[in-house]
Amino acid sequence: MTVKRDFIEACYGRPVGRRPIWIMRQAGRYQASYRAVRTKHSFDELCHTPELAAQVTLDAVRQFDLDAAIIFSDIMVILPPMGLPVTFAPGPKIAVPIRRPDQIARLKPLDPRADVGYVMNALRQVRAALPEPVGLIGFSGAPFTLACYAIEGETSREYPTARQFFYREPDAAEQLMKHFADAIADYLNAQIDAGADAVQLFDSWGGLLSAADYRRWVLPHMQAIIAKIRRPNVPVILYVNGSSHLVDALSDTRCDVVSVDWRTDLPAAAAKCAKQTALQGNLDPVALLGTPDEIRRRVDTIVDEMDTTGKGHVFNLGHGILPPTPEENLRVLVEHVHARRPRLQTAGNDQ
């Protein structure tokens, strides 16, 4: 018998028993339990040890009655096996970034089961331990975001070196994007095989691009990834930070769910998306530092706006939860989202 998961149903715009919610970075520093684990283990240990990754993944769901778990990992884990070692100090640092076209030809293909098998082991452990109605999300960084890190070599606000590479070496940039897209598709397929019920692509820096450049450099690779990982009832979510100007292009990737940040008007985004595309988001993470009444008020606004669209909706923040967030405020958020009676969706996708 197939288990009905409200999170999956909402991703396809189908009727749900309760309005689903999960939170980006829901296993993290705002949690006392996570901080306790970090006193004994480094971030790198957590990512590379399936038992620890499974533990912190499950803790968040158990503590806050969330409708989906997202596997604890990092988007950078697939870079070292391809020949781009990463250190954290504390942000990601690549000692020898890509600055010349000949470096791209030397990148290795990714064998996800051999190179990052610990992620699949963690997924299997979490799926086995999760209550059946709770969804499990796998994820990867998107090609452009990985390219930004690989070329810039470190975190940046604007990634000028990376973007310059695309302007000056368009053929090499295309080769790099294809290399990452192939690896990401293989990686996400391995996660689905290991038990992920859905996958999310994080394009943290895609919003730096104009709509024209996104369509030129990113869209074809996103379409290729999504075509390669398409499975019945395994929705694909795409999150791009700062994407108000890109919503129609994100829908054109043929993802099932477009996840938007708090600066994006939900009804306007819904109007730009394909009929069957659901939305995810989009509470400002800072709102969780406010009062319980203000949190409830903002939830009501988002829910009311989404109910006017007739689209599927997965409640989430517009970015990751902030470390100073009180745990009790997250409980207020989850309880109030669940208290809002789900509206019968009308724009369903019958995959």
- The CA distance from 159 to 161, in Å, is 6
Catalytic residue chosen out of the listed positions 12, 149, 214, 239: 149
For the question of residue 25 being annotated catalytic, the response is: yes
- The CA distance from 170 to 341, in Å, is 50
Q: Find the largest Cα–Cα distance for the chain.
A: 57
Alpha-carbon torsion 210, 216, 217, 219, what sign? positive
Catalytic residue chosen out of the listed positions 5, 25, 127, 343: 25
Q: Are 236 and 257 in contact (CB under 8 A)?
A: yes
Catalytic residue chosen out of the listed positions 18, 38, 113, 296: 38
Catalytic residue chosen out of the listed positions 29, 215, 216, 263: 29
- The CA distance from 291 to 163, in Å, is 40
Catalytic residue chosen out of the listed positions 74, 115, 256, 261: 74
Q: How many other C-beta atoms can be found within 10 angstroms of the C-beta atom of residue 165?
A: 24
Rg from Cα positions in the chain:
19
Tell me which residue of 57, 177, 64 sits closest to 118, measured CA to CA: 57
For the question of residue 74 being annotated catalytic, the response is: yes
- The CA distance from 314 to 7, in Å, is 7
- The CA distance from 233 to 248, in Å, is 23
Q: Which residues pair with 154 in a beta bridge?
A: 93
Residue whose structure tokens are 């890190």: 149
Residue whose structure tokens are 């949690």: 31
For the question of residue 29 being annotated catalytic, the response is: yes
For the question of residue 149 being annotated catalytic, the response is: yes
Instruction: Please count the CA atoms within 13 angstroms of the CA of 339 that sit on its side-chain side.
Output: 10
Categorise residue 195: left if φ over 0, alpha if ψ from -120 to 50, beta otherwise. left
The residues annotated with a catalytic role in the active site are 25, 29, 38, 74, 149
